[in-house]
Amino acid sequence: MDNIPEKGVFMKYDREYSTIKDVPQSLAKDVNNKKITGVCAGIAKHFNFSPLAVRVVAVALLIAIPVVTAVVYISASLLLPSKYY
């Protein structure tokens, strides 16, 4: 099996052995499609969602619970690595 471990043995590295070509390896900010810092675009790319949908949800959360959303967004923008997709 070309040194591919059984499914479930190395759960942390399942994406590494994926047969899908467009699966990002890890969550990162999308530098090419960013509006502010690229966090929403990176989340959208990682989970294969529309960037507009992720941004709308982020704004809705910012209106509903502003302090928590702002802290999470700022933390993500500081902690996530940047990636050129």
Q: What is the pLDDT of residues 43-81, one digit of tens each?
A: 988 888 899 999 999 999 999 999 999 999 999 999 988
pLDDT at 76: 92
Q: Is 50 exceeded by the pLDDT of residue 16?
A: no
pLDDT at 56: 96
Q: How many residues does the chain have?
A: 85
Chain centre distance of CA 65:
21
* Mean pLDDT along residues 22-27: 64
Spatial neighbors of 26 by CB under 8 A, at least 6 apart, are 15, 46, 81
pLDDT at 52: 93
